[in-house]
Chains A and B, each alone.
Chain A
Amino acid sequence: MPKKVLVVDDEKVIRKFLRIHLINWGYEVKEAVDGVEALEQLSNEDFDFLLLDILMPKKDGWQVLEEIRSNPKTKNIPVIVLTAKDEDNDMFKGYTLGANYYMTKPFTNTKAQLLYGIQLIFRKNSESVNNGLVKSPKTVTPAEAGVQNYLK
């Protein structure tokens, strides 16, 4: 079964190219256009990881991240923050609130940066959280294999 990703961004065009990459790598992709919709989807479905924008209407990414980490059901979901907020203090805030990886827009090489982020969150989870997200090398999914091949 492919891993399921929730892409949260109020920009349609950004969701579009992220979706194209993720589907090509074998992921099942769901989308949310703001923080409220993201939390609704998280309460109804299980996701393997999130791509989360910060500046969004209704509820911003900081609030979403806080709520994810304070909810026992979602607290261990890996989150990659994708944002135009690129100041050191923004990045610090992101990691403090529980982001697993922080990417700043505009990306100079979306695929490489995203794949690196995904690789990193899987590795971190295999080392620190035994939540079943990362399998042994013998049972690696096609998506993970794609990530590893691309990074070689």
Chain B
Amino acid sequence: MSLNTISYLIHEIKTPLTGIIGITEVALEEEDASKNKSYLMDILNCAQRISGIVGGLRSYSRITKKEEQSLVDIHKVLEDSLKMVRLAIKVTSVEVIKRFQPVEKIEANMGEIQEVFTNLITNAFQAMNGKEGRLILSTRSLKDSIEVKVSDNGIGIPQKHLNKIFNPFFTTKNPGEGMGLGLNIVYRIITKYKGTIDVESKEGLGTTFTIKFPIRGDGNGKESIGG
């Protein structure tokens, strides 16, 4: 981890810490007990931000370890990821279209592949926030790989940011909404399995991430799963 990264992390932790200390000082002097709930909510929000940073760092460091691997059904992962994100983010007006073709299973750690798609689907939902959204999840089998596309019709990514989005700690989100580790974790997991990820985006129109996982040539993973 570079010195710049460490400086950034220190700043990201100091900010909610300042909030916790500042609001606690106010709460300790507050004579009107009815105001304390609002102060406690502020403190909780700040503490949760720090907790999120620590959680993100844990995921970041865990990827380098060798985790248990199995044959992973990518359609099941996509369905589960979608359910998890829907539970975490209350989105009402997004239409989800699934275009699943038969693809082979991939040998990988289930939790890591799930992390890839929960991150991408979360970003897609956030990009479509406040508008009639459409999320398309599609899969197909290629000669030596399987391809998964995650497309949204959200706000899109400015061209000037496209070459930075996989960098650790790059974020355009507001303070407290993300520390810029999600897509870096996605990238690191995919490349760990010798896969690739590409992004196409137009501001105001939407974004498509295309992920390819290689298929092993020794017969493992040849078990096909239906679309």
Contact = CB atoms under 8 A, between A and B. Distances in A.
Contacts of B42: 13, 16
B18 A14 contact: yes
Given A13-B46, A84-B10, A108 B22 contact: no
Contact of B22 (A18, A55, A84, A85): A18
Given A13-B42, A16-B42, A55 B11 contact: yes
B110 interface: no
- Give the secondary structure class of A's interface: loop
Interface in A20-37: 20-21
Contacts of B14: 84, 105-106
B21 A108 contact: yes
A18 B15 CA distance: 14
Q: How many A residues touch the partner, as a band?
A: 20 to 34
Given A13-B23, A13-B46, A21-B26, A106 B11 contact: no
Interface in A29-83: 55, 57
Interface in B27-51: 42, 45-46
Contacts of A21: 26
Interface residues on B, range: 10 to 19
B15 A20 contact: no
A11 B19 contact: yes
A148 interface: no
A20 B26 contact: yes
Contacts, number: 54
A3 B25 CA distance: 24
Contacts of A106: 14, 17-18, 21-22
Contacts of A105: 14-15, 17-18
Contacts of A95: none
Given A10-B175, A11-B175, A13-B45, A84 B23 contact: no
A73 B189 CA distance: 54
Contacts of B46: 13
A84 to B, nearest CB: 4
Q: Name which of B21, B45, B46 has the most chain A CB atoms within 10 A of its CB.
A: B21
Interface in B151-209: 174-176
Contacts of A85: 11
A17 B11 contact: no
B23 A17 contact: yes
Contact of A17 (B10, B16, B25, B45): B25
A14 B23 CA distance: 8
B91 to A, nearest CB: 23
Given A84-B15, A106-B17, A13 B22 contact: yes
A14 B19 contact: yes
A18 B46 CA distance: 16
A108 to B, nearest CB: 7
Given A10-B175, A11-B175, A84-B10, A17 B15 contact: no
A79 B179 CA distance: 29
Interface of B: 10-11, 14-19, 21-23, 25-26, 42, 45-46, 174-176
12 contacts: A11-B18, A13-B23, A13-B46, A14-B19, A14-B22, A20-B26, A57-B174, A84-B10, A84-B14, A84-B15, A105-B14, A106-B14
Given A11-B176, A55-B11, 7 more contacts: A11-B15, A18-B22, A20-B26, A84-B10, A84-B11, A105-B14, A107-B18
- Nearest first, the 3 A-B pairs at minimum CB distance are A13-B19, A17-B22, A106-B18
